[in-house]
């Protein structure tokens, strides 16, 4: 049984507590946060701490899950790695590329491993779509398009009720949100070699960009388009379930993901879309993807095998993010 402690008690961190509490092979033992730890500890019947060092000394966890904002990550990893070999860390990972290198170095100095909690690739619709692609159901892939439309970014109160720090992030749409699809596009279609971006800010109440388009060139031929706008919405019962709609076009068929998690297929030459049935759980966030991501991390730790989002591998996503911002600044295609 792996003894798990979680650092952080914010909006998204609470999904992590729920996931670990339900997970076979994990024993959730502690919550650590400057505020909110007592409330979470009471809910899950675990210990509460406001100081990381004290929590580590008293509880001696086997795994620590960091759910605090990026600016805290490097310091947290440095404090945890001397005594804990298994670390899960939320994205955006360590804030930027230099921070990510520092976090990885702090872990490696003590033989610890970090898995980045990049959960969108673990959403059940993307796992199913990946299986369809691997089975050749769409033939040769031409293009992937994702239209981000959560509709939560309008007005002076945008994001304040759920994640207020969003308003102050100097880099927002790409750094906080589109990074999910940078990773997911790579998961679905392979390595990205070049990007072109045009970003903008629509809501003057926030510091960073909240809309824009990113073009992707993949090493094996396909093209990609991320079309993001956090102010506009899409048709869905829960607009935060998929946060938008995806389409993949291939030589044999096209695939569409709708806002309710439905997958649709249309054969080349046909006008008829047919539904593709698959099983998924509508629990907490994004088809229970927090649980699925942490489950995969724990399994990789137990097996001693690399995780899909091992920190060293995740550096590629951060490099692509940097290329996106450089492209927006320069107005040109940027290689990765």
Whether residue 309 lies inside any domain: the answer is no
pLDDT band at 207 (very low <50, low <70, confident <90, very high): very high
Q: List the domain range (segments joined by +) for residue 168.
A: 121-284+317-335
pLDDT band at 86 (very low <50, low <70, confident <90, very high): very high
92/111 Cα distance (integer angstroms): 23
Domain count, the chain: 2
Residue-level pLDDT at 179? 98
The alpha carbon of 192 is separated from its chain's Cα centroid by a whole number of angstroms, namely 17
Residue-level pLDDT at 334? 98
The answer on 162 and 280 residing in a single domain is yes
pLDDT band at 264 (very low <50, low <70, confident <90, very high): very high
The answer on 258 and 176 residing in a single domain is yes
Whether residue 290 lies inside any domain: the answer is no
Residue-level pLDDT at 176? 96
Whether residue 87 lies inside any domain: the answer is yes
Whether residue 147 lies inside any domain: the answer is yes
247/172 Cα distance (integer angstroms): 24
On whether the CB atoms of residues 41 and 32 are closer than 8 A, the answer is no
H-assigned helices in the chain: 13-22, 37-44, 52-59, 73-80, 97-108, 124-134, 179-189, 289-303, 311-330
pLDDT band at 135 (very low <50, low <70, confident <90, very high): very high
Whether residue 298 lies inside any domain: the answer is no
Residue-level pLDDT at 165? 92
* Section 58-67 average pLDDT: 98
Residue-level pLDDT at 144? 98
CATH number of the CATH domain containing 236: 3.30.360.10
The answer on 183 and 58 residing in a single domain is no
* End residue of a domain, out of 58, 82, 117: 117
The alpha carbon of 312 is separated from its chain's Cα centroid by a whole number of angstroms, namely 16
pLDDT band at 229 (very low <50, low <70, confident <90, very high): very high
Average pLDDT, the chain: 97
* Section 136-158 average pLDDT: 98
CATH number of the CATH domain containing 106: 3.40.50.720
Residue-level pLDDT at 190? 98
* End residue of a domain, out of 63, 82, 117: 117
Percent of the chain with pLDDT over 90: 99
The answer on 163 and 274 residing in a single domain is yes
Residue-level pLDDT at 10? 93
* Section 53-70 average pLDDT: 97
Residue-level pLDDT at 149? 98
* End residue of a domain, out of 82, 98, 117: 117
Residue-level pLDDT at 121? 98
The answer on 137 and 108 residing in a single domain is no
The answer on 174 and 37 residing in a single domain is no
Residue-level pLDDT at 75? 96
Residue-level pLDDT at 153? 98
The answer on 68 and 207 residing in a single domain is no
262/252 Cα distance (integer angstroms): 20
58/173 Cα distance (integer angstroms): 39
Whether residue 270 lies inside any domain: the answer is yes
The answer on 107 and 151 residing in a single domain is no
The answer on 234 and 105 residing in a single domain is no
Residue-level pLDDT at 50? 97
The answer on 278 and 189 residing in a single domain is yes
The answer on 256 and 216 residing in a single domain is yes
The answer on 275 and 129 residing in a single domain is yes
pLDDT digits (tens, 9 = 90+) for 281-296: 999 999 999 999 999 9
């Amino acid at each position: 049984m792996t003894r798990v402690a979680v650092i952080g008690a914010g909006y998204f961190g609470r999904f992590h507590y729920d996931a670990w509490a339900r997970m076979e092979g994990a024993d959730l033992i502690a919550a650590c946060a400057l505020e909110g730890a007592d409330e979470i500890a009471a809910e899950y019947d675990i210990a509460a701490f406001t100081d990381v060092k004290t929590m580590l000394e008293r509880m001696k966890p086997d795994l620590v899950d960091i759910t605090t904002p990026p600016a805290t990550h490097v310091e947290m990893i440095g404090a945890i790695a001397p005594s804990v070999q298994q670390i899960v860390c939320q994205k955006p990972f360590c804030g930027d590329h230099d921070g990510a290198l520092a976090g990885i170095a702090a872990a490696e100095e003590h033989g610890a491993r970090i898995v980045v909690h990049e959960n969108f690739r673990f959403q059940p619709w993307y796992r199913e779509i990946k299986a369809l692609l691997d089975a050749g159901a769409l033939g040769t892939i031409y293009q992937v398009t994702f239209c981000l439309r959560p509709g939560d970014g309008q007005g002076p109160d945008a994001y304040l009720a759920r994640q207020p720090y969003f308003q102050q992030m100097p880099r927002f749409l790409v750094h906080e949100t589109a990074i999910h699809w940078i990773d997911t596009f790579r998961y679905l279609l392979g390595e990205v070699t070049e990007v072109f971006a045009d970003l903008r800010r629509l809501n003057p109440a926030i510091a960073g960009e909240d809309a824009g388009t990113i073009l992707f060139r993949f090493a094996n031929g396909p093209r990609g388009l991320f079309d993001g706008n956090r102010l506009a919405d899409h048709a869905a019962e829960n607009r935060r379930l998929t946060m938008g709609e995806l389409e993949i076009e291939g030589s044999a068929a096209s695939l569409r993901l709708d806002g309710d998690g439905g997958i649709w297929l249309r054969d080349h030459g046909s006008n008829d879309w047919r539904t593709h049935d698959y099983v998924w759980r509508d629990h907490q966030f994004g088809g229970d993807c927090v649980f699925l991501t942490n489950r995969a991390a724990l399994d990789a730790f137990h097996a001693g095998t690399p995780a899909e989002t091992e920190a060293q591998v995740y550096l590629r996503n951060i490099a692509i993010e940097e290329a996106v911002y450089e492209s927006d600044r320069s107005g040109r295609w940027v290689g990765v």
